[in-house]
Amino acid sequence: MSALIDVLIPTFCRPAALAVTLTSLCSQQYQNFRVIISDQSDRSDVPASLQAGEVNAALRVLQAHGQEVITHQHLPRRGMGEQRQFLLDQATAPYVLFLDDDLILEPWVINSLLSAIQAENCGFVGSAIIGLSFLEDVRPHQQFVEFWDQPVQPEVVRSGTPQWERYRLHNAANLYHVQQRLNLTPDAPRKYRVAWVPGCVLFDTAKLRSVGGFEFWQELPPNHCGEDVLAQLRVMAHYGGCGIMPSGVYHQELPTTISDRQIDAPQVLEVMGNR
C-alpha cells in the first residue's frame, strides 16, 4: 500500500537529535507513512548525521515496522528553502509532514494532524513545538488564542498586522499552559488561528505545490531564514491553515544550526506569491 504521508526531515550535523526524532516516529499510532531524510552534513562535518550509529539504529526500527525509509546526502548547501524544496520534490504522497530534526512527538501526533486536515480540507495543519524548560515560566500576556469554531478558511497574514502577533502563543511553553488550563485532550482537539506553526506541519501536497512550494529559494541568498513561515503564509492565503491543540510536540531546545538570520523570507518576499 502506498504511503498516505511522506515525512520530510531536513537535517545538518545533529545525529543524536535526529535519532531521538526518528525514535518518536517509531511509536506513532498512525503508521502509513514513509520517511525521507535530506542530510546536508558532508564528510568534513563532525558530527555527521546519516553515518551515525544511533540514526541508523532508529531507521532500522522504522523499517522493521514496515515504514519505507529513503535517505539523501544533499549537497552543496544552498539554504533551507532549497533544502525543503528538494525534499518536496521527492514526495509522492497526498500529504507531506515537514518535521524538524530536533523534536519529540507523542504517539498520537500524526493521527491528530491527519484527522484535522482531512476534516477541514485546508492547506496545512500544524502541531507547534513546546519548550518544556519553560514549564515554570507562565506568560498570560502571550497566551491569547483564537479558535476556529467554524470551518477553516483562507486568510492573509502579514508582518506588522495584529494577526502576526499570534506567533507569541508558540513561544516558550505558552501552548502547553493553555491546553492544560483548558483540559484539551487528543480525543477532543481544537483548531486555532495561527500566523505560522514551527517545527511540525502537515501539508496537502498538491496545495503546497500549487503556490510554488519553496521554489522562492532562488530569490533568496543562501543565508536566509523564515522559509517555512513564507510557505505557510502562501498556503494559508489560498487554502487556509490552522494549528491544533493539544500539541504533543516537544522541542529538544538545541542551538540553531542557522546562525545568520538577517534575511527573513516573509519580510523580503510577497506573501501572496504566484499561482
CATH fold, domain 5-268, is Spore Coat Polysaccharide Biosynthesis Protein SpsA; Chain A (3.90.550)
| Distance, CA of 118 to chain centre | 17
Counting Cβ atoms within 10 Å, is residue 73 exposed (0-12), middle (13-18) or buried (19+)?
A: middle
Given a contact cutoff of 8 angstroms between Cβ atoms, the answer to whether 230 and 265 are in contact is: yes
Q: Is the pTM of this model over 0.85?
A: yes
Mean of the per-residue pLDDT values of the chain: 93
Q: What is the pLDDT of residue 272?
A: 67
Closest CA to 34 of 1, 67, 73: 67
Residue 273 pLDDT exceeds 90:
no
Domain-wise residue ranges, the chain: 5-268
For 36-60, how does the pLDDT look when each residue is reduced to its tens digit (9 = 90+)? 999 988 777 767 788 899 999 999 9
Average pLDDT over residues 239-257: 94
